[in-house]
Amino acid sequence: MGYRVVVAGATGNVGREMLNILAEREFPIDEIAVVASSRSTGDMIDFGETGKQLKVQNIEHFDPTGWDMALFAIGSEGSAQYAPKFAAAGCTVIDNASLYRMDPDVPLIVPEVNPEAIDGYRAKNIIANPNCSTAQMVVALKPLHDAAKIKRVVVATYQSVSGAGKAGMDELFEQSRNIFVGDQADPKKFTKQIAFNVIPHIDSFLDDGSTKEEWKMVVETKKILDPKIKVTATCVRVPVFVGHSEAINIEFEDEISAEQAQSILREAPGIMLIDKREDGGYVTPIECVGEYATFVSRVREDSTVDNGLSLWCVSDNLRKGAALNAVQIAELLGRRHLQKAD
């Protein structure tokens, strides 16, 4: 016996990846429905590599009654409109948008980090998926925090254009092509040219000079991992199609060596440590595409602070940063609460 599952926003980058991962991981499904806006109604979409095609239904007319869970990838505006409707009908919503992440009645879950927090989901019948850059970072931080207690994190991100959706990927491709043939490369989706450039600006600016993306990393890390950890972030968009990278500097309360950290990370759930101190002995975004793991490299001691480490963290943002984490939440929900699958 399996679950009745809805994927909302199934025609977008993250929605398609959700379908791929549900199929890959053989999630126990009795029935699956794909829903999206009226623009996509009637389109056919592949259910991973199962050979099965699913017909997109209009979310406006879809009745969620009797469905067990819905994986949402429809943005905050869509979630505001439809998540309460699905939740009220008894269909637990796992939401990829930012809307509910900081709601005290909505668990914000990374299964390798705070699985027990899912137990509070019944308050609103909604579970939030964290920001892509936060998700991979806390997977790397959690086992180190357990070992030596983190005081402060300084992170600079190198975020791929897929984090801005299909429009971001299209813009990088078109600008690159235009530059090679001598045409204009005017920005549309981004504030400046993204091809052969980096942009230190993701999401809107806040009054203190930080961006909303940076704020999300700060507050979400506190909610998921530990409210006492101090976090400062600089989030940068780079001309990479898929895969977010992060340079993370960590200050601990207790002493921890690079060798100890490597040993801990080697055994940690969700982590793949690839850290050889030689040419190419580290992971870059190209190698992480399509992978489940959060990759860690370049672990080294920081002599400028007491008990400091620096490391490099890379992950497929469409997977661990979004779709994979949502499916892992669905698996966790099934195991801990719904328990319908054999």
Catalytic sites, residue numbers? 132, 244
CA–CA gap between residue 116 and residue 110 (Å, rounded) = 10
User: CA-CA distance, 291 to 24, in Å (whole number)?
Assistant: 12
Contact 326, 10 (CB under 8 A): no
Is 317 annotated for ligand binding? Answer: yes
12 is in an annotated binding site: yes
Question: Is 75 annotated as a binding-site member?
Answer: no
Q: Where are the alpha helices (DSSP H) in the chain?
A: 13-24, 75-88, 132-148, 165-181, 212-224, 258-267, 285-288, 324-333
13 is in an annotated binding site: yes
* Gap between the Cα atoms of 94 and 112, Å rounded: 16
300 is in an annotated binding site: no
Integer CA distances (angstroms), 210 to 74, 154, 215, in order: 26, 14, 7
Binding site annotation covers 257?
no
The response to whether 163 counts as a known ligand-binding position is: yes
* 37 annotated to bind ligand: no
Q: Does 14 show up as a binding residue in the annotation?
A: yes
How far is residue 5 from each of residues 60, 149, 339, measured CA to CA in Å?
17, 38, 14
Binding residues for phosphate: 101
Binding residues for substrate: 159, 237
Binding residues: 11-14, 39-40, 101, 159, 162-163, 237, 317
Binding residues for NADP(+): 11-14, 39-40, 162-163, 317
